[in-house]
Structure formats: structure tokens, C-alpha cells
Amino acid sequence: MLGLASSASAFRHACSGCARRIRVPVSASAPVSQRFRAVGARTSSPFSTVSLAYDLHEPAKPAADKETSPIIVMHGLFGSKKNNRTISKVLARDLGRHVYAVDLRNHGESPHDHRHDYTAMAADVADFIRQHGLKEATLIGHSMGAKTAMTLALHEPDLVANLIAVDNAPVDARLGSDFARYIVGMKKIDEADVTRQAEADKILEPYEKSLAIRQFLLGNLHRPAAVDGADGAQKTQKFRVPLSILAKALDHLGDFPFKDPGEVRFSKPALFVRGTKSKYVPDEVIPLIGQFFPMFELVDVDAGHWLISENPEAFRQAVIRFLEPRE
């Protein structure tokens, strides 16, 4: 990958289990990227943003001047703001900062839109920052949310103070076939008109053996409001996420909108946290991370891809060390 594999072994030992800043030589300052409307992931045509649903977690003891320098937390594919509720509360408490956990487009309670790519998702978050009058925002994103955070930081660095990318990297990579398999199973659940989650779980089991992952996916089920003027909600459960839209987007969700780190970079602090049992951030991409994000640090956490839930204390410590003021 871009001739970077030869540098991999030097980083493996240096970054294992510690927060250490790695500097990669880069060329002269790159020009600031154009606005979202001018550059699309696959088209130059303007597109509409959506207004994101969110939960605000306020600290009991706000740190001085932190009301307008919040943390914005973004989930991964098939996730929602409720997945980040616990870590958001903890970070609000420990850092004294307001934490906004958002639902990205086509997820949770946010609107659906036929376009689902990182340029569009990043533009939604940029609008969210402006609409709420936020300054010096910290972005935390897991997986799909991590690439959204990276895209926004590279597109509009003035909106972002720093970012934390969790188990993803600024590279094109093939998305695992398990996601397409999940959608097949989830569509079967929608077609079955289930009324209990146990029924849905039984349908999904042939598509995913892990109970924890099935429970995560089934967290998207809800009972839609009744139609035709009837009171209450329907008995059948359906998925909130638009499965057809996400199915069409899967082929491109492994992509990253930027290809050349010589054209644009984010020259503010960035933390990359990866799971030691995950394959999403292999050693050979680390130099490329440094070219896009020259002020980056890397922390390895003993966990798989879902490291925030698998090892929350190690993740919390890494975030606190990164975000606490330094002398």
C-alpha cells in the first residue's frame, strides 16, 4: 500500500499498549481543502445535509469555558447514539465538558437520505457544529464514525480542535462480507413481522453466531407508530435503519474520500486508538496516517473492533490522557 509496508515493523514495538506520539516526515504545508459542496465523495454536485438527532450529556461540574468546546461522539455502522451513552456520560464527568452523542444519517432517530457516504456524513456534522454554535470541537468516532471524523477534520479543520479515531484509518479498504450478510438477515426479520425480539434473534442467528453482535444489530428494532389514525404503536417490530439504502452503500463504506496526503492534512492533535485483536488498522497504514495527520498519537487497546464496549476503562484512560491539558 503506497510502499509503506517496509516501515511497519518499526512502529509495532513503539506503539504497543502505550500512548506515544509518532511523527512522520511530510512535505510543505498543504492547501486547505475546499468546502463540502464543492467536493463530493463520488460527485461534484451539491447535496442536502440532514439535521442530526443527538443526546447531550452535561457535566455536573463544567470546566471553565468548555460550554462551546464540546466533544462530539459518532457511532459506527448499524449503531446509534444510545451505544455511546455510557462513555459519553463518563467523559462529561471526567473532563467537565459537554458531550454530544449524535445519530449519523440513516441511523437511530436521524433522517434518512439516499446518499450515504463519508462526505455527506461529515457535512451533516459540520452543519451540526454551526447550528449549535460550537467552537473548538473534539470529534470522537468509531469505525464509520471515525472515517466521518477524519473526513470532516480534513475538509474543514477550522471547525475541529482535535480528533480521536477509533479502530479505523484514512485508507480505502474492503468492507467485510459480514455486513452484507447482516442486512440479508435483517431484511428477513422485517419481512417476518416479528412481535418479539426473541423471534428476531432466531431469524438472525444463522447470519451471525455471536449473541453480542446479534443484540447490537437488534438494538435497531422498534415499534413504528400506528397508521390510519389508530392509537398507540404497531405490535410488529421493524428496523429503524433503511436497509435498502445501507445495502447500496456497503460497496463504498470501506473507501476514504481523500487519496493524496500531499494535497490536504490536519495539522492539529489526533489520537488513533486501535484494538490489538482487530484488523482494521494494520501496521502498514501507520505511516499514511502520519501523512494525513502529522500530529497523531497511536494507542493499542487489548480488544477487538468493538473496543469501546470491550475495554471501556482502557479507552477512557487513553482519551483522558490525550484531552487533558498538557504543561
Share of the chain above pLDDT 70, in %: 81
pLDDT value at residue 230: 54
Answer whether 4's CB lies under 8 Å from 287's CB.
yes
Answer whether 128's CB lies under 8 Å from 72's CB.
yes
pLDDT tens track for 173-199: 887 778 999 999 999 999 999 999 999
Rg (CA), the chain: 20
Q: Which of the residues 80, 110, 143, 278 is marked catalytic?
A: 143
- pTM score, whole prediction: 0.84
pLDDT tens track for 56-85: 999 988 876 555 689 999 999 999 999 999
What is the distance between the alpha carbons of residues 147 and 7, in angstroms, rounded to a whole number? Answer: 23
| Domain 5-174+256-323: assigned CATH number | 3.40.50.1820
What is the distance between the alpha carbons of residues 280 and 304, in angstroms, rounded to a whole number? Answer: 9
Averaged over 18-43, what is the pLDDT?
A: 38
pLDDT value at residue 22: 37
Averaged over 11-27, what is the pLDDT?
A: 36
Q: Is 45 one of the catalytic residues?
A: no
pLDDT value at residue 32: 32
Mean pLDDT of the chain: 85
pLDDT tens track for 113-169: 999 999 999 999 999 999 999 999 999 999 999 999 999 999 999 999 999 999 999
pLDDT value at residue 226: 60
Q: Which of the residues 57, 98, 155, 305 is marked catalytic?
A: 305
Answer whether 61's CB lies under 8 Å from 70's CB.
no
Query: DSSP class of residue 271?
Result: E
270-275 and 160-166 strand pairing = parallel
Domain ranges within the chain, ordered by starting residue: 5-174+256-323, 177-250
- Top pLDDT among 280 and 43 is at 280
What is the distance between the alpha carbons of residues 129 and 116, in angstroms, rounded to a whole number? Answer: 19
Which segments of the chain are extended strands (E)?
A: 20-21, 54-57, 71-74, 99-102, 137-142, 160-166, 221-222, 238-239, 270-275, 296-301
Q: Is 222 one of the catalytic residues?
A: no
